[in-house]
Amino acid sequence: MNILKKIFLFSFIFTFSSSLYAATLSQIRLAKHKNDSLRFVIQSSKEEPYSISILKKPLRILIDFEDSSFDKNIKNNFSKFSKLLKDIRVGKINKTNARVVLELQENYTPDKAFYLKPQSGFDWRFVLDIKPASKNQIDLFKPFGTMKKLKISPKTDSSKARLTQNSPYKKPVIVLDPGHGGKDPGAISYSGYYEKNLTLLMAKEVYALLMESGKYRIYLTRTKDVALPLRSRIKKAHKVKADLFISIHADSAHNRKARGLSVYTISERASDREAQLLARRENKADIILGIDLSHESKEVSNILIDLAKRETINRSVTFADLVVDEMKKQINLVPNAHRFAGFVVLKSPNIPSVLVEIGYLSNKYEERLLKKKYYRRKIASSLVKGIDIYFDSQRKH
């Protein structure tokens, strides 16, 4: 049976619900790393102790996770890495522990292992670097049926400096982006009211409510009337390792009767173009998955970027739908309020992002509403409810 077929059969292995265990494992990835080594990554809902073992004849690397299970819908992305891999198996060892078995085409030995902290919309990620093994190293392995314990775990690993003792559910980082600013006024209403001023007021309303909740770390891309290049707004979000990016705007239309709020996420086509640009850049270190892609081949980089991008798009869409559901309870929305477009500020491949058009300044009635604090507070409270539901659901997964 070829690897691709085995991958599709993996889901039948998982017969126990992930809710019974402390950690849920998902999103397995394998890719070439620097100096001919390989990097294995698996996402986990929680940082749990682990151990790594080696079996011979055939040579296999076993990774065991304590108090863990696999998501029943685990996504295995190995079909394009068949040249690296003979076989992979995942399943439970007993009622509490889970195991991944890697059988590689060539001789490799574990090099280092560590956890990456939750960031940019991802849960904890366990990373194992595997390096080519010489013949002498292979001879040191014990016979088939016995295991050479490396005893690598969060409590004993030499790379423990990379870990923190904090709860894996650290405060999510949210970046609020008031649109326009400085010499760029944005839309201008009949009465001469500038979009740039409204978006800043709106962002501050949301900021105040989020701070009041004490659940999040919040940043604004601007706090005063200054112009910011679009891509610098994304860079600010990357700098603080944002888990969610929300850009705030006010719409305008030739049809003066048009009114209502809408939420945008990136379109697939626009996202694909951005991913292609990203893949061509020389400096790609840490742009996704905590993996340095600067030494990877074009094919591997494209695949990994595509994986991260599609997961980010899915999370963006999930968040947008939640916001729309909350907004419609007390705010007038446009028809089909969740929309798709190629806005530059939505093109981050690793940060879930939405753009909220809070209303039409070209509509006199809606302009009056948007100038009123009570109405902006209604929008802000609905947005915060959507944020709360989104992050609560992320923790449960």
Q: How does pLDDT run across 168-205, given as a tens digit for each residue?
A: 447 899 999 999 999 999 999 989 999 999 999 999 99
Owner of token pair 């076993």 = 62
Q: Identify the pLDDT of residue 380.
A: 97
The secondary structure of residue 288, as a DSSP letter, is B
**Average model confidence (pLDDT) across the chain:** 76
Average pLDDT over residues 140-151: 33
pLDDT digits (tens, 9 = 90+) for 95-113: 788 888 888 777 788 888 8
- CATH code that applies to domain 3-157: 2.60.40.3500
Domain with CATH 3.40.630.40 in the chain: 173-396
Nearest to 361, CA basis, from 276, 249, 277, 231: 249
CA distance 211 to 389: 16
Q: Identify the pLDDT of residue 318.
A: 94
Residue 49 has pLDDT above 60, yes or no: yes
Position 305 confidence tier, pLDDT thresholds 50, 70, 90 = low
Residue 396 has pLDDT above 70, yes or no: no
**294: part of which helix (H) or strand (E)?**
none
Who wins on pLDDT, 7 or 332? 332
CA distance 359 to 260: 5
Residue 1 has pLDDT above 50, yes or no: no
Nearest to 16, CA basis, from 26, 8, 24: 24
Burial degree of 281 (CB within 10 A; 0-12, 13-18, 19+): exposed
Torsion (CA) 86, 92, 93, 96 in degrees, nearest 10: 150
pLDDT digits (tens, 9 = 90+) for 307-341: 667 788 889 999 999 999 999 999 999 999 999 88
Provide CB contacts within 8 A for 374, sequence distance 6+. Answer: none
- CATH code that applies to domain 173-396: 3.40.630.40
Q: Identify the pLDDT of residue 133.
A: 75
Q: Identify the pLDDT of residue 62.
A: 85
Q: Identify the pLDDT of residue 61.
A: 85
Residue 29 has pLDDT above 60, yes or no: yes
- Measured over the CA atoms of residue 226, residue 230, residue 235 and residue 237, the dihedral's sign is positive
Residue 126 has pLDDT above 80, yes or no: yes
Position 213 confidence tier, pLDDT thresholds 50, 70, 90 = confident
Q: Identify the pLDDT of residue 397.
A: 56
Distances (CA, A) of 235 to 231, 238, 388: 6, 5, 25
CA distance 54 to 267: 45
Share of the chain above pLDDT 90, in %: 34
Q: Identify the pLDDT of residue 54.
A: 77
Do the beta carbons of residue 308 and residue 56 sit within 8 Å?
Answer: no
Amino acid at 287: I
Residue 342 has pLDDT above 60, yes or no: yes
Helices H, strands E: what count in the chain?
8, 15
Who wins on pLDDT, 98 or 357? 357
Who wins on pLDDT, 76 or 205? 205
Q: Identify the pLDDT of residue 148.
A: 35
Q: Identify the pLDDT of residue 381.
A: 96
**259: part of which helix (H) or strand (E)?**
none
pLDDT digits (tens, 9 = 90+) for 236-246: 998 899 999 99
Residue 266 forms beta bridges with which residues?
A: 341
Residue 132 forms beta bridges with which residues?
A: 108
Report the chain's terminal Cα–Cα distance, integer Å: 31
CA distance 60 to 79: 19
CA distance 91 to 101: 9
Q: Identify the pLDDT of residue 279.
A: 40
